[in-house]
Amino acid sequence: MGESAFALQMNEVSKQFPGTLAVNKVSFEVRPGEVHALMGENGAGKSTLMKILAGSYADYTGEILIDGKPVQLHNPHQAKSEGVGMVYQELSIAYNRSVEENMFAGNIPTKGIFVDQEALRKQALASLAKVKLEDKIDPGTEMKNISQHESQLIEMAKVLNDNPKILVMDEPTSALSSTEVQMLFDIIREIKKQGVAIVYISHHLPEIFEVADRVTVLRDGKKIDTCDIKDVDNKTLVEMMIGEKIDDFVRSGDSETGDVILKVENLTHYGFVHNISFQLNHGEILGIVGLAGSGRTELGRCLSGADKVDYGTVILDDEAITVKSMSQMLEKGIAYLSENRKTEGLALRLSNKNNILSSIISRLSRFFFFLPKKGTPILQDQYEKLTIYPHDPEITTSNLSGGNQQKVLLAKWLSTKPKVLILDEPTRGVDVGAKKLIHETIVKLAEEGLSVILLSSDLPELVALSDRVAVMRQGHLIGELKKEDGFDENKVLLAANGERGVFSVEY
């Protein structure tokens, strides 16, 4: 054992989904005691690759070697027993159970027939020590009383209990403050010293430079290159990630924007977003960037009336509005496309027609009756504009591809004829073609006078589409970048990370 120089080798690994080759003959190696960053844009194949490692797919092709030994990772238990430990972005926690039970759920120590509570406590403390929480957390505490940051560390400790050879971490810092990130990095360095190979998935450049030893960049399912972190800088990495893309969408010409349509003053939802003020012009696309957990989505939800607004005013077309409900805001002309297509956006079990018309049921009604016929021209219009495939509104939405589902979702909100359209991750999980079409549609609509607020973590998208980019950080709008001052992905990313030097306007 351990003869191989590599803890993990992947040789020409591929994974096919209906319609797309999500991972295309990717090969890379991870050395023991190395932090190996896996980078790429959304949809580059990072998460598929990670799921292959986790044993989520039984039908990947190619060869995976752990410690030089070929292994099959066809289900999660195989993956675990081969020494792959996963720390997911979405933690799966039993909230009303204790820390120790969550950590040792599968193999609680027993003495005779009963649980050995003392041994469990001891094991839990020992395990917590690996993530430096032994003094801070009583293992008997229920998980619901543990903060997000600590939950994540506990999840890590849980994974470390199995003594993994490879630890895969998916965007582990997305919900952490800068102090917490430093604490996490200290722990990662500690684990590294013990010879564990760490695959670190992220697109936060500064973090990669701080913690990673080598980096592999993926683009469109293919590996671009693996380099030592010393040999690359921000610029080269971004270039590798973005590349010369055929579908790269650049907004033609400088868009004219009109008068102010939306003015937001001191919008506040206590504990979520505080004192948000900004203006939006007719036909303008305002990008809002912020790391995960910065309050980006929460801002969208407040503006659209989906969440409570505690304080502040929204002035739309010179009319001051007290935000009360989503139906009210829809009526006034603010629509919000949710980032969670499957849980909040579309009722997947209904037909496309039902979904597209779901936000205008009352508008298509007379007296008491819903008149779906009145929606037919709207449907046709949207189907043509967005080329939704297959061209049959009666098909159940769950049978569509991700890209077409997203088009249906966009159609749903466009059918409300909004004045301001808030798009939260409008191209998450869609294929290149659909992405391009959605981008073109957004720009066309803006040229026709629609004002768009674009909340996105897809930097190229944000940079290509936006007239202005406002930056959110920890629930506040901290500044903005103007197009005339020139912005690129790098600058936007730095801004999102709180680098104040790059701002055109600082709030």
Partner 1 sequence: MSSINKDIRKTSHNNFTVIVNRFGVFFMILVLAVIGMLVSPNFLKASNLLNILNAVSYLGIVAAGISFVIYCGQYGDLSAPMTMATTGVICVEFMRYGLWYGIIAAMITGVVIGLLNGFVIGKLRVNAIIWTLAMNFILEGLVRWSYKGTQIYPDMATEKTYTTGFFLPLMAKLDPHIMELDLVSRAAEFNALATTYPGGVPLVLYVMFGVMIVGYIIMSKSTFGNQLKVVGSSFDVGKMSGINATRTVMFAFMMSSLFASVAGIFMTSLNQVGAFYIGQGYDFQAVTAIILGGMSLAGGRGSMIGVFGGVFTLGLISNILTLMGVGTFTQKMITGAIFITVVAVNARSLRKLGRDYA
Partner 2 sequence: MPDPSENWGVTMLKLNRELDKEKVLGTLNHNRIYVFLVIVVILMSIGAPGFMRSSNITPMLKTSLLPILVGIGFSYVMIGGNFDLSVGAMINVGALMVMGEFNRFYAIFGGEPAGAGAVVGAWIIAFLIALAAGSFFGLINGLLVAKGKVHSFIVTIGMLTTLSGFVYTYSKGNTISANSYLLVDIIEKPLLRVPYLEFFTMRSIITILVLVFFELLLVKTSWGRGLFMVGSNKEAAWQAGIDMERKLIWTFVISGFTAALGGILFATSMNAAVPNYGERGINPLMLVLASTIIGGTVMTGGSGSVVKTAVAVITIQAIFNGLIGMGLGFDTQVLAAGVLLGSVVLYEAYVLYKQSLRKGERPAMLPEAEELRHKHRA
Residue ranges binding partner 2 (CB under 8 A): 76-77, 80, 92-97, 101-102, 105-108, 110, 113-115, 142, 145, 147, 177-179, 268, 270-272, 274-275, 293, 295, 298, 308, 310-311, 473-476, 478, 498, 507
Asked if 326 interacts with partner 1 (CB under 8 A), we say: yes
Asked if 115 interacts with partner 1 (CB under 8 A), we say: no
Residue 426's Cβ-side half-sphere holds a number of Cα atoms within 13 Å equal to: 34
Asked if 376 interacts with partner 1 (CB under 8 A), we say: no
Residue 347 contacts which entry, partner 1, partner 2, none (Cβ below 5-8 A, type-dependent): partner 1
Taking CB under 8 A as the binding criterion, the range among 86-94, 111-119, 274-282, 340-348 that sits at the site for partner 1 is 340-348
| In the complex, minimum distance from the CB of residue 108 to partner 2, in angstroms, rounded to a whole number | 4
Asked if 338 interacts with partner 1 (CB under 8 A), we say: yes
What are the helix (H) ranges across 55-147?
76-81, 99-103, 117-130
Asked if 370 interacts with partner 1 (CB under 8 A), we say: yes
* Element of type H or E holding 433: helix 432-447
Please state, in angstroms and rounded to a whole number, the distance separating the CA atoms of residues 273 and 159.
33
What backbone phi and psi angles, to 5 degrees, belong to 218?
Answer: -110, 145
- Burial-class residue 362 by CB neighbours within 10 Å (0-12, 13-18, 19+): exposed
Please state, in angstroms and rounded to a whole number, the distance separating the CA atoms of residues 255 and 51.
41
Please state, in angstroms and rounded to a whole number, the distance separating the CA atoms of residues 165 and 74.
18
Residue 110 contacts which entry, partner 1, partner 2, none (Cβ below 5-8 A, type-dependent): partner 2
The single residue among 114, 368, 373, 501 that binds partner 1, judged by CB under 8 A, is 368
Residues 16-45 that bind partner 1 (CB under 8 A): 18-19
Asked if 415 interacts with partner 1 (CB under 8 A), we say: no
End-to-end CA distance of the chain: 57
The single residue among 32, 172, 345, 479 that binds partner 1, judged by CB under 8 A, is 345
- Tokens standing for 20? 């797309």
Nearer to partner 2, 185 or 389 (CB): 185
Please state, in angstroms and rounded to a whole number, the distance separating the CA atoms of residues 502 and 499.
7
Helix, strand, coil share (%) of the chain residues, nearest 5 = 35, 25, 35
| In the complex, minimum distance from the CB of residue 438 to partner 2, in angstroms, rounded to a whole number | 27
Taking CB under 8 A as the binding criterion, the range among 82-90, 123-131, 133-141, 338-346 that sits at the site for partner 1 is 338-346
Nearer to partner 2, 111 or 245 (CB): 111
- Tokens standing for 170? 């998916």
Q: Site size for partner 1, by CB under 8 A?
A: 39
Q: What are the C-alpha distances in Å from 269 to residues 226, 326, 452?
A: 44, 15, 22
Taking CB under 8 A as the binding criterion, the range among 4-12, 217-225, 274-282, 320-328 that sits at the site for partner 1 is 320-328
| In the complex, minimum distance from the CB of residue 494 to partner 2, in angstroms, rounded to a whole number | 16
Residues 379-398 that bind partner 1 (CB under 8 A): 389-390, 392, 395-396
Please state, in angstroms and rounded to a whole number, the distance separating the CA atoms of residues 128 and 137.
8
The single residue among 236, 277, 365, 380 that binds partner 1, judged by CB under 8 A, is 365
Q: What does DSSP say about strands 35-39 and 214-219: parallel, antiparallel, or unpaired? A: parallel
**E strands within 140-237?**
166-170, 197-201, 214-219, 222-228
The single residue among 116, 134, 162, 344 that binds partner 1, judged by CB under 8 A, is 344
Sequence letter at residue 424: D
The site for partner 1 (CB under 8 A) is made up of 18-19, 306, 325-327, 329-330, 336, 338, 343-350, 354, 357-359, 361-362, 365, 368-370, 372, 389-390, 392, 395-396, 399-401, 412, 416
